[in-house]
Amino acid sequence: MNVDKGVNPLNGWKVDKSKIKTVGRDLQRPECILAERDGTLWAADARGGVTKIAPDGHQELVVQSANNHFDLAENPESSLLTGTLPNGLAFAKNGDLLIANFGTDRLERMTRDGISEILCDSINGLPMGKVNFVLRDSLDRIWITVSTRINPWSDAICSGLADGYIALLDEKGLRVVADSFHFTNEIRMDANNEWLYVAETTAKRVTRLRVQADGSLTDREVYGPDNLGDGVIDGIAFDSYGNLWATMIFADRIVAITPEGELLELFSDGDPVRTAQFEAEFATGNPVSLETLLATGGQTCRWLASITFGGPDLKTVYLGGLRTDTIPYFTSPVAGLPMSHWEE
């Protein structure tokens, strides 16, 4: 994967908070961002679909039927734990949007003018659970992560529960291909489509599995450090050098795992006192209280959840968050690894 054999561009580099800008306004839970070559952004939106942001800044809510349950000021608990909650996003081969809906517990497909359908909401005769993320690879296979079957999901923010799994949807149908993960979150393929990398949120680590031709996953192992530090891992994305960037939600940190397995901290924006309280409760092995969770986070992108590379040279980094209403962005010293839709 490591294209440049020289010095890692991230060595000694950190995000300069003073140079962070924002795009978009009045967004609702923009957890995941998709970027297109022409500069268009698509952000998950808690009203039941996505917000499309054009290169000139014009934005449009794309949804079949808007749901207005999301109101962090009046009722953050209900907003974050119930109702439709579009989460992970991917482009289908024809340009439609694949939406992992964390609130309705299903994978949805929506056209660019807002017409939606349910792709799957059960597996092996049971409800799917908290469908978190969706990834389409270069072979047009759809990979789905389910974080937990616990509802509300906040009760699963503990170190002892490992009921998450990965499902694959291809010409053979829908099936579980790996399980027993600690709150399965974002997944990514490496540059050679050889390994699938998994953010295990409540294990504070990345796990990877070798991808076989039939879609089966083998040789499971921890990638990088066993513990990535304060917060819990949420979103991941590769850059073109081979660094795996990761967000650490609740502590609102950005870290990177180098190809050699070294951990670099690139950004830290959380409240140290609130982060310490979260870590103390998390260390008990019991679910962290919602009160403690709601007190965490920084100012730049509260409950920092995802990273997306975009811009004409793939050096613009967009940040997605659960408790923000805009999309912060900054310039990276290294380009991102192109997603499958970028090269089609």
Residue 13 falls inside a structural domain: no
d(C-alpha 81, C-alpha 15), whole Å: 31
What's the pLDDT score for residue 343? 77
pLDDT one-digit tens code per residue, 292-304: 999 999 999 999 9
d(C-alpha 208, C-alpha 194), whole Å: 10
Structure-token pair, residue 39 = 């500069």
d(C-alpha 14, C-alpha 317), whole Å: 13
Are the beta carbons of 334 and 49 closer than 8 angstroms?
no
What's the pLDDT score for residue 39? 96
Residue 37 maps to which CATH number?
2.120.10.30
Burial zone of 55 (CB within 10 Å; 0-12 exposed, 13-18 middle, 19+ buried):
exposed
Q: Which of 287, 292, 278 is nearest to 148 (CA)?
A: 287
Residue 171 falls inside a structural domain: yes
What's the pLDDT score for residue 2? 45
pLDDT digit string (tens) for the chain, length 344 residues: 444 468 999 999 999 999 999 999 999 999 999 999 999 999 999 999 999 999 999 999 999 999 999 998 889 899 999 999 999 999 999 999 999 999 999 999 999 999 999 999 999 999 999 999 999 999 999 999 999 999 999 999 999 999 999 999 999 999 999 999 999 999 999 999 999 999 999 999 999 999 999 999 999 999 999 999 999 999 999 999 999 999 999 999 999 999 999 999 999 999 999 999 999 999 999 999 999 999 999 999 999 999 999 999 999 999 999 999 999 999 999 999 999 898 77
Are the beta carbons of 69 and 56 closer than 8 angstroms?
no
What's the pLDDT score for residue 5? 64
Residue 2 falls inside a structural domain: no
Burial zone of 148 (CB within 10 Å; 0-12 exposed, 13-18 middle, 19+ buried):
buried
Residue 226 falls inside a structural domain: yes
Question: In whole numbers, what is the pLDDT of the chain averaged over residues?
Answer: 96
- Residue 320's beta-bridge partner residues? 306
Count the Cβ atoms, other than its own, within 10 Å of residue 28.
24
The residue range of the domain holding 217 is 22-343
pLDDT one-digit tens code per residue, 256-295: 999 999 999 999 999 999 999 999 999 999 999 999 999 9
Q: Which of 94, 93, 124, 123 is nearest to 106 (CA)?
A: 123
Residue 232 falls inside a structural domain: yes
Residue 200 falls inside a structural domain: yes
Structure-token pair, residue 317 = 């980094």
What's the pLDDT score for residue 342? 87
The model's pTM is 0.96
Q: What Å distances lie between residue 248 and 202, 235, 269, 291, CA to CA?
A: 11, 8, 10, 19
In the chain, the number of structural domains is: 1
Are the beta carbons of 97 and 110 closer than 8 angstroms?
yes
Residue 202 falls inside a structural domain: yes
Residue 7 falls inside a structural domain: no
d(C-alpha 11, C-alpha 25), whole Å: 33
Are the beta carbons of 296 and 271 closer than 8 angstroms?
yes
What's the pLDDT score for residue 329? 98
